[in-house]
Amino acid sequence: MVGITAYGAYIPKRRLNRMAIIQSMGWLAPALMTAAAGERSMCNWDEDAMTMAVAAARDCMTGMDKSAVSAAYLASTSLPFKERQNCGILTTALNLPEEGLVTADFTASLKSGTTALLTGIDAVRGEGKDHVLVTASDARQTKCAWFFEMWYGDGAASLLLGKDNVIAEFKGAHSVSCDFVGAYRGANAKFDYGWEERWIREQGFTKIIPAAINGALEKCGLSMDDISKVVYPCHLSPRVHQSIAKPLKAGPEKIQDNMAAVLGDTGAAHPLMMFVAALEEANPGDKIVVASFGQGCDALVFEVTDNIKKLPARAGVKGSLANRKEEAQYSKFQKFRDLVNVEMGIRAEANKQTALSAMWRYRKQVLGLVGGKCTKCGTPQYPKVRMCVNPSCGAVDTMEEHAFADKAGIIKSYTGDMLAVSVDPPAIYGLIQFEGGGRALFDFTDCELADVKVGQPVKMSLRMKYYDEARDFHGYYWKAVPQT
Amino acid sequence: MATGIRDKVAILGMGCSKFGERWDMGADDLLVEAFQECIEDAGIDKNEIQAAWLGTCFPEISVGQSALPLSISLRLPNIPVTRVENFCASGTESFRGAVYAVASGAYDICLAAGVEKLKDTGYGGLPEFGANAGPRAWMTGVNMTAPGSFAQLASGYGAKYKKSDEEIKRALAHVSAKSHANGVKNPKAHLRKAVSEEQIMAAPIIAHPLGLFDCCGVSDGSACAIVTTPEIAKSLGKTDLISVKAIQLSLSNGYEMGYNEWEVDHFVTTSKASEKAYEEAGIKNPREEVSMMEVHDCFSITEMVTMEDLHISPRGEAIKDIMDGFYDADGKVPCQIDGGLKCFGHPIGASGLRMLYEMYLQLLGRAGDRQLKDPRIGLTHNLGGFPFMNVCSVAIIGRHG
Amino acid sequence: MMNQYTHRPPGHEVQSISGHYVINEEKRIPFQGREVLVATGAFAVDSSCCGTGGCGFALVPGYVVRWKASTNEEGDPVTEIEPIQDEQAKQALRTLLQESEKVQQVNFW
């Protein structure tokens, strides 16, 4: 049996109330009011498609054997690098074995998430790839005071594919590929350029998605009556989303909520995000169709198995949505996404060049949070160096790799710093002590100073550490997220 | 068997520039200002100096590399000159070089100078370390400032000794108010303004829980010392000799940051450096024998926990001593009698020598309005880096013999 | 526990080596059935050893016990106050003052 063996998701904690956009920009763009219901997710200033992909993949791998993954695919339209495979950042952060691993980025289309999923299924069905990790993530940049800003959200979803302990069996798929361009982003552009909404709805969504879904059902010998949930995205109004299913003769109860009111459209990640949400509510025997939209459509049919009940607990979409903090200040959204030109002072002008040779040498430490454990005295330590830190040991070259990212940690000391150059002052940071040993100083994120205490548990999260504007280089590293 | 430095080297003369925002002067001018006072005090000719040391912490924004800036500024007669840098201990390192050179017998008379010119960066505060701290600085370095790193001591200390934020805040306010009161009496101090504990408590927070008065500033300045053997000093007509009793240094080895024991409550290095210094100086009971101290009060919390690491206050009882006035000008062991880093100022490369300068003046009875009664032993302390990883120096000077 | 607050003329600047602060206004705010003394002002850190910054802040010495009950040596009035200890009350006041006073920092005695 081939199919999904685990799922995960990540949605940034911050949610921007869409009325906050209206309150700031409604004087200029009053038409936005038609899309102002609910809230959208927004990346913290140190999050992007890359960090969300890592978070969703880690959620997906909860209780799974990372060393068994033999291929990883990353789908997105908003990745930080054009050359330098972004999926390599993901797999290094997950500390996957480098030997025998196939990685690929799937980009440039909002259907890339389902295409990566289809490709992953093909790999598992073929020879030699027993466990394939498929992750989709998007944090699309939008101009201020436009519908894209209202409609879009930030988020990531991840699926593990395999042959054993399958929770949703792959039954079949059908794809339609065509150069339908509702919106595009040129290679040198920061923002989407879109065509008339009514045309996209009538000639795009309502024709292409039903064609692909009907094709898939036909291939599987199924009819809509056999299907429990139909999963497909549409960033336009909830009414338009619903109307797409009319030609499919799917009743409203079968249409998976696109989470426009609580999340927004997460681009390439959205079909997978909605699929994860459907799986969270699914019962064994349910058949689910998952479809995408963007220069065509991939439609895949799955059947949920009994194993779904045995999947270890994870945040998923439900848990991610519940971990929520409302952001009422639109100006924070603007600054976090670098949409306004803010003076950061001379101090911020520092040269942030990255030594690529050093990045390669320290890749496991920096991206993987891999430290060492002395095989002579057993002391876990970070970073991994040649001489043991234990004053009564001091052995040389006895260190084996020891991964800290998934270890529980507690706060030993902390502060909130008004002087450190920060996008969201005060900068909060402190010393983290890991369970079982090992400690280091980390920046804290997704927290308020008033809520931070010595002894508080933290979880580690890969975040954007620095951005070298002069060389367009994003640096990533781990931060501590205090748990309340 | 090593015998230590005690009483092997005497201070022939010292000088110190006015500290502050010296927009009118570059590093070379500041060096001359301190040196003129120093050589006059020593009563020798410049050509009698046989070797010299220069301490600066941020040469890249003022004098540049090498020791040439000292040699050229003072027009030294083509003698050996060495530049040293060891964070905030750079001034004491310069002194250590000169003292050890005399003690070795290689030279008769040596100069130790320190200078820092910080007010040419275009922004407040120390220069950004940035990529100068190695290729991993941006990759993994925490977005940390010095106040933020030292502030962590408050949370660690409070957790270990069950002290509330309020108790710590009040002790820090006393630490700061005392230094401000002392600084008023010092004409060379950067800031000469008394401030009440209540005004300190009312001040906003820079890095929780450190407020505006808990953090030192940035100053330009220079200080220097000329050292020789006690015999030569006597032969030059000096009578009240001040000699070096101890100079110790201790550096972190990654234990605090990397091993699992340290509780962010004290300075491992200060604790060790001071023990070794007392041993070298023959001091058995520092609480009784040390007459006065200049410690590295970069932040009030540093001074507070340092009182324990210098083994003057028992562990967990610094707050009590501070609130009892033990370290006030009229207390048992006056601390920061010249105003300290927070009022005298902190031109990094000069700071260690500035502290020695005050101890030297006090021991000779030349400290004017702030003169203490009959001090015999003065201790100085520098702490460079962060609580997690630092360089500590402790020097002790006193009346010879 | 400190229980006195000295009123200084509005705009009085207090200087440290690393910057300065000014209290511009003092208010008596009704809160949970009692009256809280709130002083608001601004501060600048422009010469600290380690960076520059500043913000608007509110200082909450505590509940008013006796308003301007005495004067100090310089003739400044002094109010007796009771510091706020309860963490929930502090949090509520913090949220309230950040909104009403548009300050970025709320500090308690």
Q: Mapped to the 3 state alphabet, what secondary structure does chain C carry?
A: CCCEEECCCCCCEEEECCEEEEEEEEEEEEECCEEEEEEEEEEEEEEECCEEEEEEEEEEEEEEEEEEEEECCCCCEEEEEECCCCHHHHHHHHHHHHHHCCCCEEEEC
Taking an 8 Å cut-off on Cβ atoms, the answer to whether B144 and A431 are in contact is no
Residue written as token pair 């950004």: B128
The residues near B102 (Cβ < 8 Å, ≥ 6 apart) are: B8, B9, B108, B109, B110, B227, B228, B229
Q: Which DSSP symbol is given to A18?
A: H
Question: What pLDDT is stored for residue B133 in this prediction?
Answer: 79
Q: Which domains does chain A have, with CATH numbers?
A: 3-336 (3.40.47.10), 360-369+404-482 (2.40.50)
Question: What pLDDT is stored for residue A385 in this prediction?
Answer: 95
Q: What is the mean pLDDT of residues B221-241?
A: 97
Q: Identify all chain C residues contacting B215, using CB atoms and an 8 Å cutoff.
A: 16, 18, 45, 48-50
Q: Identify all chain B residues contacting C44, using CB atoms and an 8 Å cutoff.
A: none
Q: Distance (Å, rounded) from C-alpha B196 to C-alpha B180?
A: 9
Q: In A64-205, which residue ranges form alpha helices assigned H by DSSP?
A: 86-93, 112-125, 147-151, 197-199
Name every residue in B having a CB less than 8 A away from some CB of C. Answer: 21, 123-126, 145-147, 166, 170, 190-191, 193, 195-196, 198-199, 201-206, 212-213, 215-219, 298, 342-343, 345-346
The enclosing H or E element of A333 equals: helix A330-336
Question: What pLDDT is stored for residue A31 in this prediction?
Answer: 94
Kindly state whether B130 is in contact with chain A, defined as any CB-CB distance less than 8 angstroms: yes
Which of A346, A357, A359, A431 to mutate: most B Cβ within 10 Å?
A431
Closest CA to A138 of A115, A109, A160, A118: A109
Taking an 8 Å cut-off on Cβ atoms, the answer to whether A417 and B207 are in contact is yes
Closest CA to B265 of B387, B111, B124: B387
Give the minimum alpha-carbon distance from B116 to chain A in angstroms, rounded to a whole number: 19
pLDDT at C2 over 70: no
Kindly state whether C45 is in contact with chain B, defined as any CB-CB distance less than 8 angstroms: yes
Question: What pLDDT is stored for residue A419 in this prediction?
Answer: 87
Distance of CA A308 to the CA centre of its chain: 22
Give me the residues paired with residue A304 across strands: A168
Give the minimum alpha-carbon distance from B401 to chain A in angstroms, rounded to a whole number: 38
Contact B230, B361 (CB under 8 A): no
3-state DSSP of chain B = CCCCCCCCCEEEEEEECCCECCCCCCHHHHHHHHHHHHHHHHCCCHHHCCEEEEECCCHHHCCCCCCHHHHHHCCCCCCCEEEECECECHHHHHHHHHHHHHHCCCCCCEEEEEEECCCCCCCCCCCCCHHHHCCHHHHHCCCCCHHHHHHHHHHHHHHHHCCCHHHHHHHHHHHHHHHHHHHCCCCCCCCCCCCCHHHHHHCCEEECCEEHHHECECCEEEEEEEEECHHHHHHCCCCCCEEEEEEEEEECCCHHHHCCCCCCCCCHHHHHHHHHHHHHHCCCCHHHHCCEEECCCCEHHHHHHHHHHCCCCCCCCHHHHHHCCCCCCCCCCCECCCCHHHHCCCCHHHHHHHHHHHHHHHHCCCCHHHCCCCCCEEEEEEEEEECCEEEEEEEEEEECC
Q: What is the mean pLDDT of residues B72-99?
A: 98
Closest CA to A151 of A13, A267, A26: A267
Q: What is the mean pLDDT of residues B332-347?
A: 96
B57 is catalytic: no
Q: Distance (Å, rounded) from C-alpha A113 to C-alpha A123?
A: 15
Q: Which domains does chain B have, with CATH numbers?
A: 10-125+220-243 (3.40.47.10), 146-216+244-399 (3.40.47.10)
Active-site entry in B16, B38, B88, B343: B88
pTM, entire model: 0.94
Residue written as token pair 């510091």: C83
Give the minimum alpha-carbon distance from C50 to chain A in angstroms, rounded to a whole number: 7
Q: For B17-56, how does the pLDDT look when each residue is reduced to its tens digit (9 = 90+)?
A: 999 999 999 999 999 999 999 999 999 999 999 999 999 9
Q: Which of C45, C104, C105 sits opposite A419 (nearest CB)?
A: C45
Peptide bond into A426 cis (omega under 30): yes
Closest CA to C93 of C43, C48, C31, C33: C31
Question: What pLDDT is stored for residue A346 in this prediction?
Answer: 83
Closest CA to B165 of C6, A433, C87: C87
Taking an 8 Å cut-off on Cβ atoms, the answer to whether C52 and A345 are in contact is yes
Measured from the Cβ of residue A301, the count of other Cβ atoms closer than 10 Å reads 24
B346 is catalytic: yes
Q: Which chains pack against C, by 3+ Cβ pairs within 8 A?
A: A, B
Question: What pLDDT is stored for residue B130 in this prediction?
Answer: 63
Q: What is the mean pLDDT of residues B372-400?
A: 97
Closest CA to A318 of A161, A155, A480, A460: A155
Closest CA to A420 of B241, C5, B206, B261: B206
Q: For B87-116, how does the pLDDT look when each residue is reduced to its tens digit (9 = 90+)?
A: 999 999 999 999 999 999 999 999 999 999
Question: What pLDDT is stored for residue A350 in this prediction?
Answer: 84
Measured from the Cβ of residue A347, the count of other Cβ atoms closer than 10 Å reads 21
Task: Label residue B128 by pLDDT band (50, 70, 90).
Answer: confident
pLDDT by residue, tens only, chain A of 484 residues: 999 999 999 999 999 999 999 999 999 999 999 999 999 999 999 999 999 999 999 999 999 999 999 999 999 999 999 999 999 999 999 999 999 999 999 999 999 999 999 999 999 999 778 999 999 999 999 999 999 999 999 999 999 999 999 999 999 999 999 999 999 999 999 999 999 999 999 999 999 999 999 999 999 999 999 999 999 999 998 899 999 999 999 999 999 999 999 999 999 999 999 999 999 999 999 999 999 999 999 999 999 999 999 999 999 999 999 999 999 999 999 999 999 999 888 888 888 999 999 999 999 999 999 999 999 999 999 999 999 999 999 999 999 999 999 999 999 999 999 888 899 999 999 999 999 999 999 999 999 998 899 999 999 999 999 999 999 999 999 999 999 8
Closest CA to A213 of A237, A232, A199: A232
Task: Label residue C1 by pLDDT band (50, 70, 90).
Answer: low
Question: What pLDDT is stored for residue B131 in this prediction?
Answer: 60
Residues in chain A: 484
Give the minimum alpha-carbon distance from A247 to chain B in angstroms, rounded to a whole number: 53
Residue written as token pair 């797409």: A244
Average pLDDT, chain B: 95
- With a pLDDT cut of 70, the percent of chain C lying above it is 98
Q: Where are the domains of chain C?
A: 4-108
Residue written as token pair 């309020």: B166
Question: What pLDDT is stored for residue B373 in this prediction?
Answer: 96
Question: What pLDDT is stored for residue B56 in this prediction?
Answer: 96
Residue written as token pair 């440290």: C16
Measured from the Cβ of residue C96, the count of other Cβ atoms closer than 10 Å reads 16
Q: Distance (Å, rounded) from C-alpha B392 to C-alpha C76?
A: 44
Taking an 8 Å cut-off on Cβ atoms, the answer to whether C52 and A347 are in contact is yes
Residues in chain B: 401
Question: What pLDDT is stored for residue B107 in this prediction?
Answer: 98
Greatest CA separation found in chain C?
43
Q: Which DSSP symbol is given to A239?
A: H
Active-site entry in B346, B381, B392, B400: B346
The residues near A30 (Cβ < 8 Å, ≥ 6 apart) are: none
Question: What pLDDT is stored for residue B288 in this prediction?
Answer: 98
